[in-house]
């Protein structure tokens, strides 16, 4: 039953990734039908991100009061409602309404499942879980692309994903009693199992540096997806198709490194995975500063993704060990809230600075962010 539960958690992480790129994949045809301006998609994404930050900060209270199983069930159900709402929308304002449950569900389920896996399973599973997120994030646009190509049925793209998510809800529901029993067993020591508040967690030595590392890494990952293709076209003179191919290599690097990190995590300490990951990422970004010909800059982008890939899941899984099981849910909520804040702010900051100084500045900013990840991780290692 424990193995079956782990399989369902893997499915839930696939489900977590499924809606992430759906709106962007459908937007070019969807906005024409509902009469929305181009920039509305960015505004909707901001609402989703704000919801993830709020639910991440509240996750520890929800987990303590209701348990991981119920939080996961309700969170994915909120995502089903939101994605179904997207499929029914006829006006831009309705997208903002649907973005609220989507953001709240995504932040809560990410924090709840990550905390549960960190407490109950080995470190390898955390890296592989985030590979599952990548599978979901890749599959969502593919489903939408298929539906658009076959009759311009973008609404059925959203509905197909909603059905897949609802099947995951049913799988969670089928194991609800076993999952709740595990939660009760873990918290059998009564008062000691109560989580600390966010304020108390924030004051723990080493937490702030972990939050900074998550903000810098996640923000850089998001900004890479937004701006690197433009950098390759405008600075390196690539075609749009070659630039897109190079950018895809970044995500390949992330997935490969998380698969490898999962396999070796039982033999290599978390601090070394983060330390060497950040340094490999810095080396990859340094290659992007060189005027390499053709598709060779893709090597740098692969190393950037390969190095940074284990950072997020490794920091998350090490949280109970570093800060204690009682504080883990609250600290994890703060870490993830910081990550989501970074994913919102850094692409905007990079775009502003690149527009002001020039696109050549983009790799310099990324190198600085990865160096901050390294410094923050080293400070945490000395603090705990």
pLDDT tens column, 62-112:
888 888 889 999 999 999 999 999 999 999 999 999 999 999 998 888 888
Quote the tokens at residue 18: 């499924």
Question: For residue 229, what pLDDT is reported?
Answer: 78
- The pTM (predicted TM-score) of the whole model is 0.80
Alpha carbon separation from 350 to 112, 113, 228, 298, 300 (Å, rounded) = 31, 31, 11, 20, 19
pLDDT at 160 over 90: yes
What is the residue-averaged pLDDT of the chain?
85
Check whether 197 has a pLDDT greater than 80: yes
Any idea how long the chain is? 384
Contact yes or no for 373/216 (Cβ under 8 A): yes
Confidence category of residue 217, pLDDT binned at 50, 70, 90: very high
> Which residue has tokens 């389920």?
109
pLDDT grade for 193, boundaries at 50, 70 and 90:
low
How far is the CA of 344 from the CAs of 16, 38, 102, in angstroms? 18, 18, 16
- The stretch 305-334 carries a mean pLDDT of 88
Helix (H, G, I), strand (E, B) or coil at 5: helix
Q: Is the pLDDT of residue 49 over 90?
A: no
């Amino acid at each position: 039953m424990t193995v079956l539960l782990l399989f369902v958690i893997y499915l839930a992480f696939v489900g977590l990734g499924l809606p992430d790129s759906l709106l962007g994949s459908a937007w070019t045809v969807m906005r024409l039908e509902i009469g929305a301006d181009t920039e509305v998609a960015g505004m909707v994404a901001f609402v989703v991100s704000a919801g993830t930050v709020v639910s991440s900060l509240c996750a520890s209270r929800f987990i303590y009061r209701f348990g991981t199983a119920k939080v996961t069930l309700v969170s994915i159900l909120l995502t089903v409602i939101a994605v179904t709402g997207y499929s029914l929308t006829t006006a831009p304002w309705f997208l903002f309404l649907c973005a609220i449950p989507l953001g709240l569900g995504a932040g809560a389920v990410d924090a709840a499942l990550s905390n549960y896996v960190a407490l109950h399973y080995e470190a390898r599973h955390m890296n592989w879980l985030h590979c599952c997120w990548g599978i979901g994030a890749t599959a969502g646009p593919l489903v939408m692309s298929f539906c658009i190509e076959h009759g311009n049925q973008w609404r059925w793209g959203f509905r197909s994903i909603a059905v897949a998510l609802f099947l995951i809800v049913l799988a969670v529901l089928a194991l609800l009693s076993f999952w709740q029993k595990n939660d009760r067993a873990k918290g059998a020591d009564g008062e000691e199992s109560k989580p600390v508040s966010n304020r108390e967690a924030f004051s723990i030595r080493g937490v702030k540096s972990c939050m900074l590392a998550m903000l810098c890494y996640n923000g850089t990952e998001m900004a890479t997806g937004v701006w690197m293709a433009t950098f390759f076209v405008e600075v390196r003179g690539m075609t749009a198709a070659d630039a897109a191919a190079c950018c895809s290599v970044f995500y390949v690097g992330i997935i490969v490194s998380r698969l490898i990190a999962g396999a070796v995590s039982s033999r290599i300490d978390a601090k070394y995975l983060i330390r060497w990951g950040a340094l490999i990422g810095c080396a990859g970004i340094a290659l992007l500063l060189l005027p390499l010909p053709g598709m060779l800059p893709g090597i740098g982008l692969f190393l950037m993704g390969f190095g940074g890939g284990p950072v997020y899941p490794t920091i998350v899984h090490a949280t109970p060990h570093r800060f204690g099981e009682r504080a883990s849910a609250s600290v994890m909520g703060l870490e993830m809230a910081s990550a989501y804040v970074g994913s919102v702010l850094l692409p905007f900051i990079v775009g502003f600075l690149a527009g002001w100084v020039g696109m050549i500045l983009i790799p310099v900013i990324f190198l600085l962010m990865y160096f901050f990840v390294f410094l923050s991780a080293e400070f945490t290692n000395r603090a705990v």
